[in-house]
Amino acid sequence: MEVFIQIALLFAAGEIANLDEWRRAEMFTNLSDLRHVTSKQFTTFDPVTRSKTKNVLPGGPAVTLAESGKPGMITRMWLTFPGWFWRHWDTASVNEPSTLKKLILRIYWDGEASPSVEAPIGDFFGNGHCEFQHYTSRYLGMSSGGFYSYFPMPYEKVRIEVQNLHDSIPVDVFFNANYEEYDELPANAGRFHCLFRTGRLGAEDPLRMADIRGRGHYVGCSLSMQGEPLNYLSYLEAPEYIYIDTEDREKPTIVGTGLEDYFNGGWYFRDGDFHGDLHGVPVKDTLRSMISMYRFHERDAIAFQESFSLAFVNPWAGSHLKPYWFASTAYWYQDRAAALPDRLPVDKLMSMYRIRDTDHQSIP
């Protein structure tokens, strides 16, 4: 099997957890070396009709963007759509940033009936605040109007779909995904998963990011938070509690010192928003009590054989804390395509945010 295929699949399986090792491999040290693989691209462009997009009607059924019954691996995924800021230069169109929360991405691996990836577009690509914020990282980003992913995604079969849960705004989706097609995958090729969660938490409630059953490794998350009062960020005091292959919630396997510490920041991200390869803060707005963060794990990917659980728990007394809202996406690879521990909370998607440049405020 070609070097590129071997290395990418080893990364997805957890055998190579550091992209520095990946870059030192032959595919990066000598780009002129030819590879004997079948390179293809899923796309919404129709060369017959010359239409570039798939129309996704409000409140309508899911629309398939890509599908294949042959083994392969997605190496890059990109999409964009109007509706959150404009519509094909139509100044009379109605647009809402809530489409970033109401356009849902789902990915099904290996013919499974349940998706292994299910999240609003904005949240999947790293910002759950119903607004586009340009940032670039190694694996995910919002790049000058587009949304991209470089997570390697092996599969035996694949189906990618989107559904528009908005009640009135149609969405035209532009989509491309580069992939390689193989005769067969090695048995240890991990399947990519993404779990979305959202809700309102009381002062002392744990923020539960993921509760996973099976064998695999956790590779990161994005987390958007907003306090109900203005000028409030004390929810960032909560350190991570990680439980690996244990049901004993009194003895975490890994525990940290604070939520912003987990995301490689300090002092409530004192210098504001930034974006790096493996961690960043695309949004920090202290006035609106709002922040979005991401962190990806490579060499520090967290392996588990039976189960994995991650929660952020604030050690402060409830009398010093205020309620807040959160929206999160957790990313991991598993040894097989698995149904997510819970499905999309459709009734809570818009229960959270003050939205920039609008009068919308749905916090009760």
- CATH, residue 190: 2.60.120.1390
Report the distance separating Cα 185 and Cα 189, nearest Å. 7
In terms of Cβ atoms closer than 10 Å to its own Cβ (0-12, 13-18, 19+), residue 361 is exposed
How far is the CA of 313 from the CAs of 283, 286, 300, in angstroms?
22, 21, 21
Instruction: Give the pLDDT confidence score for residue 207 in this predicted structure.
Output: 96
CB 160, CB 52: distance < 8 Å? no
Instruction: Give the pLDDT confidence score for residue 12 in this predicted structure.
Output: 63
How far is the CA of 43 from the CAs of 64, 76, 112, 118, in angstroms?
11, 12, 22, 20
pTM of the model: 0.90
> In which region does residue 116 sit, left (phi positive, over 0), alpha (psi from -120 to 50) or beta (all else)?
alpha
Report the distance separating Cα 303 and Cα 172, nearest Å. 39
> What backbone phi and psi angles, to 5 degrees, belong to 305?
-100, -30
In terms of Cβ atoms closer than 10 Å to its own Cβ (0-12, 13-18, 19+), residue 348 is middle
Report the distance separating Cα 195 and Cα 12, nearest Å. 17
Instruction: Give the pLDDT confidence score for residue 362 in this predicted structure.
Output: 53
Report the distance separating Cα 148 and Cα 323, nearest Å. 33
* Geometric angle at alpha carbon 62, from 131 and 191, rounded to 5°: 80
Q: Which amino acid is at 322?
A: K
Size of the chain in residues: 364
CB 351, CB 362: distance < 8 Å? yes
Enumerate the β-bridge partners of residue 125.
none
In a domain, 359, yes or no: no
In a domain, 356, yes or no: no
> What backbone phi and psi angles, to 5 degrees, belong to 157?
-140, 160
Instruction: Give the pLDDT confidence score for residue 4 in this predicted structure.
Output: 44
Look up residue 303 and give its two tokens. Answer: 């392996």
Report the distance separating Cα 142 and Cα 130, nearest Å. 13
Q: Which amino acid is at 88?
A: H
Report the distance separating Cα 275 and Cα 259, nearest Å. 17
How many domains does the chain fold into?
Answer: 1
In a domain, 128, yes or no: yes
In a domain, 360, yes or no: no
Instruction: Give the pLDDT confidence score for residue 21 in this predicted structure.
Output: 46
Instruction: Give the pLDDT confidence score for residue 36 in this predicted structure.
Output: 75
In a domain, 361, yes or no: no
In a domain, 363, yes or no: no
Report the distance separating Cα 140 and Cα 184, nearest Å. 27
Instruction: Give the pLDDT confidence score for residue 282 in this predicted structure.
Output: 96
Structural domain of 191: 3-348
Cα-Cα-Cα-Cα torsion 246, 248, 254, 260, nearest 10 degrees, comes to 120
pLDDT tens for the 364 residues of the chain, in order: 444 445 555 556 665 554 444 444 434 445 677 777 899 999 999 999 999 999 999 999 999 999 999 999 999 999 999 999 888 778 888 888 999 999 999 999 999 999 999 999 999 999 999 889 999 999 999 999 999 999 999 999 999 999 999 999 999 999 999 999 999 988 889 999 999 999 999 878 999 999 999 999 999 999 999 998 889 899 999 999 999 999 988 899 999 999 999 999 999 999 999 999 999 999 999 988 999 999 999 999 999 999 999 999 999 887 788 999 999 999 999 999 999 999 999 999 987 666 665 555 554 4
Instruction: Give the pLDDT confidence score for residue 318 in this predicted structure.
Output: 77
* Geometric angle at alpha carbon 64, from 98 and 224, rounded to 5°: 30
CA 307 to chain CA mean position, Å: 20
Instruction: Give the pLDDT confidence score for residue 32 in this predicted structure.
Output: 74
Residue 34 DSSP one-character state? -
Report the distance separating Cα 194 and Cα 216, nearest Å. 13
Q: Which amino acid is at 127?
A: N
